[in-house]
Amino acid sequence: AQSVTQPDIHITVSEGASLELRCNYSYGATPYLFWYVQSPGQGLQLLLKYFSGDTLVQGIKGFEAEFKRSQSSFNLRKPSVHWSDAAEYFCAVGGRAGKSTFGDGTTLTVKP
Amino acid sequence: DTGVSQDPRHKITKRGQNVTFRCDPISEHNRLYWYRQTLGQGPEFLTYFQNEAQLEKSRLLSDRFSAERPKGSFSTLEIQRTEQGDSAMYLCASIGESSYNEQFFGPGTRLTVL
């Protein structure tokens, strides 16, 4: 069965500081991996995705993530956080059928 | 292309009532997915369609839940005899043939059962 673990429920960073959100997955085959962002009361917006190829993927809003098969991880990073990045972030793993399994999310707070 | 739309955005109902939600996927997207998201959790898969065929249903989808996609375009999700535990955000997503399994999500329907 596929699963996703996001170990950090809540992270607080200062504006301008770097950010790393952790994601570990369990999947029996080559995974499709995604990071989404969700603002309160809103749907999910895709930040970036990994299907194959280069293990470092670039996304929107200056985010990037690195797929590490040996560690079953897909951590999200941003070199300099902006106040508008405050939101909830979800990591997800999917397969060929398209359905995704999501982690429980990490809430990001940005201090001025 | 206006994206995935869901209607209504909010629904408040009394326990025991039936409710129906609608999802309009991106046009020509052949796969459509329903998820449920409760507070503090990630979305959980409920069911999905390829065209009009319902190909998979989660164990979360009790017999009070039914979903349809009669013409392979929009989909409806009905909950009969609602319970307070059904209160959640119901999200719809669609995938097109060339989307490489990238799901496009709608804004969701927030259900509150009193």
CB pairs under 8 A between A and B: 61
The predicted structure's pLDDT at residue B71? 87
Buried b (16+ CB within 10 A) or exposed e, A78-103: beebeeebbbbbbbbbbbeebbbbbb
Say how far apart CA A92 and CA A32 lie, in whole Å. 8
Which of A99, A100, A102, A106 has the most B C-beta neighbours within 10 Å, making it the best mutation to test the interface with B?
A99
Per-residue tens of pLDDT for chain A, all 112 residues: 789 999 999 999 999 999 999 999 998 777 899 999 999 878 899 999 998 888 999 999 999 999 999 999 999 999 999 999 999 999 999 877 788 999 999 999 999 9
Instruction: Give residue for tokens 């590490």.
Output: A68
- Measured between CA atoms, the residue of chain A closest to residue B40 is A104
Interval B80-100 mean pLDDT:
91
Contact flag B55-A98 (C-beta cutoff 8 Å): no
**Quick check: A42 contacting B, CB < 8 Å?**
yes
Q: What is the DSSP letter of A62?
A: G
Residue B77: pLDDT band by 50, 70, 90 thresholds?
A: very high
Q: Do B108 and A42 touch (CB under 8 A)?
A: yes
CA distance B43 to B64: 19
Q: Is the pLDDT of residue B1 over 60?
A: no
Q: Residue range B4-8: average pLDDT?
A: 96
Q: What pLDDT was estimated at residue A29?
A: 79
